[in-house]
Structure 1
Amino acid sequence: MDKGTLPLKNLLFLLLVSFSLFAQPKREFRGVWIANVGNVDWPSTKGLSAARQQQELIDLLDMIQRRGLNAVFFQIRNACDAVYESKLEPWSEWLTGQQGQSPGYDPLAFMIQECRKRNLEIHAWMNPYRAVTDIRTASLASNHVAKVRPDVLLSYGPLRILDPGRPEVRSFVTRVVMDVVRRYDVDGIHFDDYFYPYPQTGITLNDNATFAEHNRGFTNRADWRRDNVNLLIEAVADSLRRVKPWVKFGVSPFGIWKNRSSSAEGSNSRGFEAYSGNFADARKWIQEGWVDYIAPQVYWSMGNGSANYTHLVPWWSENVSEQHLYIGHGVYKVNSDANWRRPMEVSNQIRYNRTFANVHGSILFSAKTLRNNPNQLCDILCQEVYQSPALVPAMPWKSTTPPPVPTDLETELNDNNTITLTWSYPYTLTSERDKARYFVVYRSINKASIDLRTGLSIRAIVVNEAGKNTFTFNDTQVSPGTKYNYTISAFNRLHNESKPTDVVSISTTQRAVEVVEEAPKPILPLASQLLAPITPHEEPTEAVAAAEEEKEEAEPEIAEIPTTDSEELLEVFPNPFNQQIDIRYRLTEATEVSLYVYDSHGTRVGALVVNKPQEVGTYSVKFNGQFLSEGAYYARLMAGPVQKTVKMVLKR
């Protein structure tokens, strides 16, 4: 093949992701890791007061909620220690600065409470084997395993790990996991990629004695080591399903299982292999059904020459069929090299994921990077791929039983022209698996039907508070003289959805229209309101709403781009359009350009170009309205200080 020619599948992908609006999936896993080891994400430093630590967690979770994510992976055990009240292991040093010292509260219990308020899944993230990161500098509590049972540890340079080959180690780790599961209402148990140590030059792992005593008939030590890890994964999976079958179990292994050079079943990559390097056979865990999800750490860019993102994701997709596959993204690498300096790198990775039916979502490492927003990472994610809220995908192998349908849905128009919804949920359910955890409010406008298949119809997520039978939601994002249609469904902790209620409609009153130039930014309610209307869109503008009135049309007020000839600076064709429309614009001077698409209520449904420097010339962008309802839409071009808007009509 000509080196200058792109492979067909890559070319098709580029055509897909360049400018088309991708469908916003109704269900998509959107997680983020929160690490405490080394104070990476939280707490910001050792020794903070309990109140300060709690406030930092609240701030992190508020940020995560605003960014449109729906799950957190909270590190609670990194080196045989605990970020929760435990009788088995000492308090983590990363809380107070002294291992074994209580921080004055239970961080895991606090985290669960705060995640419930925001309707975020919480997965308890544990490292199964690491015991002491650096024995030379460690100050260990008297009840740490390295003090109590040094005989069950292996040395690897300054690192100490629990010996995976010893039966009592497997029993102990499983006991620690189940102690957490029995006492805390976590949604999942999560292991990371640290099993046997990552190899280092000049260091040998000496497990000769264990191999001699506990080889179970194995003669090949590598196979034996892999089986040691397999036995732990199987034991944890079996224990979880016996005690709390709704708790999910997953692992985030290194992103390469095997290279194709090592095995015909491996991936098209050249890099460290988890299979032979730290003896993690993730493919077997998937095949055996021991894990509910696998989250490989595909921490490479789409331009990487040795481990290319677009080579590894297809491999994982082909090897995961029944369980969930979440791709781990190394967002901490943003700005680390030329590939990671591309503003759209992470958004394009997520778009690429969506082209694979077996990829159910993403997990980002880590929360600190989201908070710091390097290279406008989070802003672009919200504009490009997380415009609409997403619900966690259901796991039908755990349960398909839906909760009962909410009842008595009513709407009321308030004096300030907002709409209040009320509904009842009078059921008393004893099964933790089947209880309603939250409600989803769906909305459509005027004659449009409510599409329950995508996230675009989701108006709000309302948390089910214990002891309440009646719930309300106040919809303030409404326009005058408009008909709104609502329906509500309930979801249980495994995200099985009830049937929706009957649709209830209500119209707001018409009032004088004040034309505004730019829609205001949304202010999202935080957890104290027990609502999560995660719609990172522009607020409706009365000018755009008024444009849909049959008797009088008014285009949004805009500043025209100066022109030197009669050629239009912003054109669309064909117009009306059936599914796809070409948007063409011309620049008379080099400037920074943004191009967005809004529906008739001012909600942004497409971010086609975002703050991109462009030279003088004519540009063509394709907008795909496949998953949108019929009606009027508006393309808005912002080129430097001037703007141009054109109306487009979608007809089926």
Structure 2
Amino acid sequence: MKKILILSIAILFFACNSEEPPKIYPNNPVQTTKGIKGVWVTNVASTALSSLNAIKETVQTCKKSNITDIYVVVWNKGRTLYPSEIMNKEFGIPIMESYAGRDPLLEMITEAHKEKLKVHAWFEYGFAASNGQQGGVILQKYPQWAAKDVNKNLLVSSSGFEWMNGINPDVQNFMKSLILEVVKKYDVDGIQGDDRLPAMPIAGGYDDYTVQLYKTEKGVNPPTNEKDPAWQDWRANKLTEFLGDLYKAVKATKPNVIVSMAPSVHPWAKDNYLQDWPTWLDKKYCDYVIPQIYRYDFSAYSQTLKSQVSYVKNSADRSKLYAGVLIQSGTYNASNQFLEQMVNENRNNYVSGEVFFFFEGLKYNSEYFTTKYASK
């Protein structure tokens, strides 16, 4: 008994006199491993995907910039950026016209895997059918898929996106079929939705299908106030249920494929696009989330980052939150100093990785990415 007592005192002594543990925010476990270092690669305002040689150069730029994960666009403007049997069967357009005869997704996977970089298929447009085309070929063939506002008009967001109804099971099955097509056909490391998947502008939900579904479940018509809390929660929950179904389907097909989401920041995302990502994490409907913390000064970035961390419901899920960081958009470029401040602030809040929007910014900030970022 005495030996046990002496041993206990010794253990207590050494514990009290050992190096002070790092300070952490309440309920925020320290990250023991480095997280992702990602970048979004798009076909807008960039020639990164314009040819096989361009893709090779893109991969080399990513490697030199210490990027580990490439999120490459595979779905926008109502087109796929890979040859799709589904799109060919449904609309007679197997791939975005400018990429006919090629397979940019396969090219990217092949080149990136040579350098041991991961490739995620980014379904950028999500439930948006088109932009400035009144729904394009999708809603022209399937007008019943359209999302509608309270006046029964086609749902169009302020940025010009024209929306499918993400609560309609036919729309859900269409989107799920495209995602599973990629998972089955390609050696992709992950798939990703963003602020349009799963999502719907809060003004939506007044199409015939959704109105009838709500009436069946609730016994009354939906409120005409699009921001009614119960009506908002009901629609957000429907999108959450879709994500849960999608997650299970992807994992049943290939368990090792990562399912990630890059929504807008909370609670703005839920209040405007019905994206309840804290619940997505809590229900384990995605492997990690990357809120788009797109800010133009350090104070705003720091404040928003900390708020996003605080919205994670379960402290064990803190390691599943990464930061979406804006480095280039239009004529805007983040300075190297601001970029370093944002990355350092991520680590100070135990956010172990980030994804940058977007690829072209790697070139502008090459001084930072090719030198300092390697040690972060």
Q: 2:246 aligns with which of 216, 221, 236?
A: 236
Q: Distance in 1 between matches of 2:178 and 2:161?
A: 21
Superposed displacement of residue 117, structure 1: 0.5
Give the aligned residue type for 1:213.
Q
Q: CA deviation at 1:311?
A: 3.3
Tell me: CA distance 1:303–1:349, structure 2 relative to 1, closer, same or farther (3 Å). Answer: closer
Q: Which residue of 1 aligns with 2:66?
A: 68
Q: CA distance change for structure 1 residues 305 and 120 in 2, over 3 Å: closer, same or farther?
A: closer
CA–CA distance in structure 1, aligned partners of residues 300 and 353 of structure 2: 24
Aligned partner (choices 244, 248, 256) of residue 246 of structure 1: 256
Say whether residues 1:308 and 2:317 are aligned partners.
Answer: no
In structure 2, distance between residues paired with 1:121 and 1:320: 27
Matched residue, 1:498: none
Q: Counterparts of 1:246 and 1:174 in 2: how far apart (Å)?
A: 18
Which residue identity is paired with 1:32?
Answer: V
Counterpart code for 2:310: W
**How big is the shift at 1:210?**
2.3
The answer to which structure, 1 or 2, has the higher relative contact order (CA under 8 A, 6+ apart) is 2
Counterpart of 2:146 in structure 1: which amino acid?
A: L
Q: Alpha-carbon deviation of 1:212?
A: 2.4
Query: Deviation of residue 128 (structure 1)?
Result: 2.3
1:366 aligned to which of 346, 358, 361 = 358
2:240 and 2:276 in contact (8 A); partners too: yes
The offset of 1:367, in angstroms, is 0.2
Q: Alpha-carbon deviation of 1:194? A: 1.6
Q: CA deviation at 1:283?
A: 0.6
Letter in 1 for 2:262: S
Give, in whole Å, the separation in 1 of the partners of 2:354 and 2:301: 22
Instruction: Work out whether 1:386 is the aligned partner of 2:371.
Output: no
Following superposition, the deviation at residue 114 of structure 1 comes to 0.7
Deviations 1:50-69 (A, max 9, x none): xx611111111111101111
Letter in 1 for 2:373: V
Aligned to 1:350: 343
**Which residue of structure 1 aligns with residue 141 of structure 2?**
148
**Cα distance, 1:320–1:168 mapped onto 2, change above 3 Å:** farther
Contact 2:192 2:260 in 1 (8 A): yes
Q: CA deviation at 1:385?
A: 3.2
Q: 1:27-68 deviations in whole A, cap 9, x for unaligned?
A: 3310000112xx233457xxxxxxx61111111111110111
Q: Give the 5 Å matches for 1:281-292.
A: 281-292=276-287
Q: 1:274 aligns with which of 264, 269, 272?
A: 269
Compared with structure 1, are the counterparts of its residues 129 and 92 closer, same or farther at alpha carbon in structure 2 (3 Å cutoff)? same
Q: Is the 8 A contact 1:303 1:309 kept in 2?
A: no
Residue 210 (structure 1) aligned with residue 198 (structure 2): no
1:440-589 alignment runs, 5 A limit: none
The aligned counterpart of 2:179 is 177
Contact 2:74 2:105 in 1 (8 A): yes
Shift of 1:318: 6.8
Change (3 A) 1:275 1:317: closer
Tell me how far apart the structure 2 counterparts of residues 198 and 303 of structure 1 sit (CA, whole Å): 29
Distance in 2 (CA, whole Å) between partners of 1:333 and 1:88 is: 32
Q: 1:105 aligns with which of 102, 107, 113?
A: 102
Q: Report the aligned-residue RMSD.
A: 3.0
2:231 maps to 221
- Is 2:39 the partner of 1:28? no
Is the Cα contact below 8 Å between 1:302 and 1:310 reproduced in 2?
no
Q: For each residue in 1:510-568, what CA deviation from the matched residue of structure 2 results, as whole angstroms up to 9, or x when unmatched?
A: xxxxxxxxxxxxxxxxxxxxxxxxxxxxxxxxxxxxxxxxxxxxxxxxxxxxxxxxxxx
Q: Report what 2:19 is aligned to.
A: none
Distance in 2 separating the partners of 1:293 and 1:320: 14
Identity of aligned residues (%): 18
Matches of 2:155 and 2:105 in 1, distance apart? 31
Report how far residue 175 of structure 1 moved.
1.5
Q: 1:307 and 1:351 mapped to 2: Cα distance?
A: 10
Listed as ranges, the gaps of 5+ residues in structure 2 are 1-22, 25-31, 88-92, 148-153, 223-229
Secondary structure of 1:210's counterpart equals helix
Q: Which residue of 2 aligns with 1:117?
A: 114
SS at match of 1:174: helix
Distance 1:344 1:306 in 2: 14
Give the residue type in structure 2 aligned to 1:349.
Answer: M
> How many corresponding residue pairs?
320
Q: TM-score, normalised by structure 1?
A: 0.45
Give the whole-Å Cα distance in 2 for the aligned partners of 1:41 and 1:149. Answer: 32
Corresponding position of 1:40: 45
Q: Is contact 1:32-1:73 (8 Å) kept?
A: yes
Amino acid at match of 1:177: I
Counterpart for residue 323 of structure 2:
327
**Is the CA contact (8 Å cut-off) linking 1:302 and 1:345 kept in structure 2?**
yes
Secondary structure class of the residue paired with 1:329:
strand
Q: Aligned pair in 2 of structure 1 residues 305, 121: CA closer, same or farther (>3 Å)?
A: closer
CA distance in 2, matches of 1:301, 1:319: 29
Distance 2:167 2:114 in 1: 41
- Measured against aligned partners, the alpha-carbon deviations of 1:554-592 in whole angstroms (never above 9, x if no partner) come to xxxxxxxxxxxxxxxxxxxxxxxxxxxxxxxxxxxxxxx
One-letter amino acid matched to 1:350: V
Change (3 A) 1:81 1:365: same
Between Structure 1 and Structure 2, the one with more helix by share is 2
Counterpart contact for 2:261–2:286, Cα < 8 Å: yes
Q: Report the AA paired with residue 115 of structure 1.
A: A
Runs of 4+ displaced beyond 6 Å: none
**How much has 1:382 moved relative to structure 2?**
3.4
One-letter amino acid of the counterpart of residue 148, structure 1:
K
User: How far apart, in 1, do the equivalents of 2:307 and 2:55 lie?
Assistant: 34
**Is residue 295 of structure 1 aligned with residue 290 of structure 2?**
yes
| 1:174 and 1:232 in contact (8 A); partners too | no
Q: Which amino acid aligns with 2:45?
A: V
Deviation of residue 228 (structure 1)? Answer: 2.3
1:226 shift after superposition: 0.5
Output the CA distance in 2 between the equivalents of 1:165 and 1:279: 11
Shift, 1:80, TM fit: 3.4
- Mapped to 1, the partners of 2:117 and 2:168 lie a distance apart of 37
Deviation at 1:171, TM superposition (A): 1.7
In the alignment, residue 327 of structure 2 is paired with which amino acid?
V
Taking the aligned partners of 1:40 and 1:316, their CA distance within structure 2 comes to 33
Aligned match of 1:167: 169
TM-score (norm 2): 0.76
| C-alpha spacing 1:242/1:26, structure 2 compared with 1 (3 Å) | closer
* Aligned-pair CA distance for 1:278: 0.4
- Among candidates 127, 131, 134, match of residue 132 of structure 2: 134
Partner of 1:269: none
Q: Give the aligned residue type for 1:176.
A: L
Hey, what's the Cα distance between the residues in 1 that align with 2:328 and 2:293? 12
CA distance in 2, matches of 1:306, 1:68: 23
Deviation at 1:147?
3.2
